[in-house]
Each structure stands twice: as structure tokens, then as C-alpha cells.
């Protein structure tokens, strides 16, 4: 029989495992009733995958919107049908020749300014985006190429952290919806020699970091006390302003009622706590507008 567990597990996802398989494995390890993730990592990719258990699943959308940081290995000189090492090579190019390592560094650094800030990306055919109810990768596997609408994304930071030509490693901080495979291909196009992704590791999701994560092997073997793996539900929401309310106000919010506050108002989504020393004092989130709290997502208090 499954157990009600509410919280967040920061998993260091292994290579070769889908995000959904990772969720299932963590759910099984904790015998949890409900679990979900906060944004897919490709099977080839490794790194930070926050997994929400129980009531935390209500807030997974908030992390889907968060910026993310990746370390990506790019191989120049060839393109694949998927944009990464899992695909088939469809085109090979002659590599540019360089006099020395300094020339390589200078050339690769010169590529980056065009990829900083708000840019446009065409989603790959090998993606889970849907057309007429069917994911694009199904069309791609059938040899069908469809027109895709470019999407606006934001690259906040991008830099080379290691170059072993013809491979080079990037660190990228970007907005949701960014395809690092497409970024690798676009870098190859900019250098006129093609490129594809050969390694990807996610190191940050919003304010959460890989340093806080655990391997699946550690979780499954129970190398630590189970509670040390599970962060509280509000760990997802630490960047939001917080408010404390009294017991009467808390009950009103839990009944879905608006609560006026005699405090200077801000226009914001806030996390709400009841004024108690009990460990389960997080109530949920509310929109704070014109001095009134409008309940948004509240956790179920039944335990």
C-alpha cells in the first residue's frame, strides 16, 4: 500500500533513462502515492531532475517556468538527424584549420554574442511538441519533416568552459523552452562546419542546484535516512515573497475565501504560512493584490 509523502526529491538523473522512468523509480523507492517531474530531461542527458511527491506536484508548474543551467558538450564537424549523439550522422563537413589553441578559443568566443539575450529557435523535429495530437518525433521517425514556428527564448549567460577541438564544452543559463540540441546545431551552422550535442548535464533549475541532489542508486539502496532525501513542499517556492497569517486567516484561505491584510500591498504571487511552530505550517500560494490575498494553490492539510 502506498504512503502519503509530500515533498521534493532532487535526483541526479542517470544517462539512458527517460524522465518518466526516473519519476516511476523514485515513486517506487519511497512507496509514494503520487509523483511528477518539473521539466523533462532527454534520455541521453544527466543531472538535476526535481521530482515532486504528493502535494508538491501542485507546484511543479512553477519550476517548469524557471530558468535552467546546463553544461553541454558540442562536437563540431557533423550533423545528426536528432541533433545529438543518439541520432544518425546525416552530414559531415571539413573542419576549419587553426594555427593554435588561442585561435580556436578566439573563433569560438566570437560565435557567442549572437546567441546571448532574446533569440529565436526553431524546435527540433525530434521533440515531444505535438501537431494534430501526435508528437513531432513520430513524424520524424516516419521520415516526415514539418514546418515549425520559431519560438522566442532567452539565453542569459553562455560561455565555453573547456575546448578539446573538435569538441567544446559550454555552460548555458537559459529560459524555459530552450533546446540545447538546437543551440549546438546553430553554433555549428554559424561556424559553417555543422555540430551536434554529445553530452548534456543540467546543473540548476531555478534556485535548486545539482549539489543538493542524490543519485538513484543511493535512493534505491537507502544509503541515508529517507527523510534526508525529501525537501519540504515549499522548497520549490523559495524565490517567492512569504507572508505569515493567523489561524483565522489561514482557515479562511483554506476554504477558498479572500483575506484582506492591513499591510502595505505588493502585486505578487506569495507563499503563505500559518503562525505556528509546527513543521507543517506551509499553506500554499496566493495572489496578493490591492491589499487582499486571493488563494491560488493550497495544500491539503489532511495527513
To the query of whether residue 42 is one of the catalytic residues in this protein, the response is: yes
Question: Is the alpha carbon torsion for 213, 39, 155, 159 positive or negative?
Answer: positive
8 contacts: CB under 8 Å, gap ≥ 6: 50, 51, 52, 53, 56, 230, 231, 232, 233, 235, 236
Distances (CA, A) of 212 to 9, 12, 42, 282: 9, 9, 21, 22
Task: State the Cα angle at 179 between 91 and 96, rounded to 5°.
Answer: 40
Q: How far apart are CA 281 and CA 279, in angstroms?
A: 6
Q: How far apart are CA 248 and CA 126, in angstroms?
A: 52
72 contacts: CB under 8 Å, gap ≥ 6: 169, 170, 171, 172, 180, 183, 184, 197, 199, 200, 201
Q: How many residues does the chain have?
A: 303
Q: Tell which residue, 39, 47, 83, 105, has the closest CA to residue 198.
A: 83
The catalytically annotated residue of 6, 42, 84, 186 is 42
Q: How far apart are CA 13 and CA 21, in angstroms?
A: 10
- Do residues 163 and 104 lie in contact, with contact meaning Cβ atoms separated by under 8 Å? yes
Give the DSSP H or E segment for 188.
helix 180-190
Q: Tell which residue, 155, 74, 153, 77, has the closest CA to residue 113.
A: 155
* Side-chain half-sphere CA neighbours of 158 within 13 A: 25
User: Catalytic residues, which ones?
Assistant: 42
Amino acid at each position: 500500500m502506498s504512503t502519503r509523502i509530500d515533498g521534493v526529491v532532487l535526483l541526479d538523473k542517470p544517462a539512458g533513462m527517460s524522465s518518466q522512468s526516473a519519476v516511476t523509480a523514485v515513486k517506487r523507492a519511497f512507496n509514494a502515492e503520487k509523483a511528477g517531474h518539473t521539466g523533462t530531461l532527454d534520455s541521453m542527458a544527466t543531472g538535476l531532475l526535481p521530482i515532486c511527491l504528493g502535494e508538491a506536484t501542485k507546484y511543479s508548474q512553477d519550476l517548469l517556468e524557471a530558468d535552467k543551467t546546463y553544461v553541454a558538450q558540442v562536437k563540431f564537424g557533423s550533423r545528426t538527424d536528432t541533433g545529438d549523439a543518439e541520432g544518425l550522422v546525416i552530414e559531415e563537413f571539413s573542419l576549419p584549420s587553426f594555427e593554435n589553441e588561442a585561435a580556436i578559443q578566439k573563433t569560438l568566443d566570437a560565435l557567442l554574442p549572437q546567441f546571448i539575450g532574446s533569440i529565436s529557435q526553431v524546435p527540433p523535429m525530434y521533440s515531444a511538441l505535438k501537431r494534430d495530437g501526435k508528437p513531432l518525433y513520430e513524424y520524424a521517425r516516419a521520415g516526415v519533416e514539418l514546418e515549425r514556428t520559431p519560438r522566442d527564448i532567452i539565453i542569459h549567460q553562455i560561455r565555453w568552459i573547456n575546448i578539446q577541438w573538435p569538441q567544446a564544452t559550454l555552460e548555458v543559463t537559459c529560459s524555459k523552452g530552450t533546446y540545447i540540441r538546437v543551440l549546438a546545431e546553430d553554433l555549428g551552422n554559424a561556424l559553417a562546419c555543422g555540430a551536434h550535442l554529445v553530452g548534456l548535464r543540467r546543473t540548476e533549475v531555478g534556485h535548486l542546484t545539482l549539489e543538493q541532489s542524490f543519485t538513484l542508486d543511493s535512493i534505491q539502496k537507502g544509503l541515508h535516512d529517507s527523510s534526508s532525501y525529501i525537501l519540504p513542499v515549499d522548497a520549490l517556492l523559495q524565490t517567492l515573497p512569504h507572508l505569515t497569517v493567523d489561524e483565522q486567516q489561514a482557515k479562511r484561505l483554506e476554504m477558498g475565501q479572500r483575506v484582506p491584510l492591513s499591510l502595505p500591498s505588493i502585486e505578487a504571487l506569495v507563499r503563505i504560512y500559518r503562525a505556528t511552530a509546527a513543521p507543517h505550517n506551509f499553506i500554499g500560494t496566493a495572489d496578493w493584490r490591492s491589499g487582499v490575498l486571493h488563494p491560488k494553490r493550497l495544500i491539503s492539510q489532511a495527513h
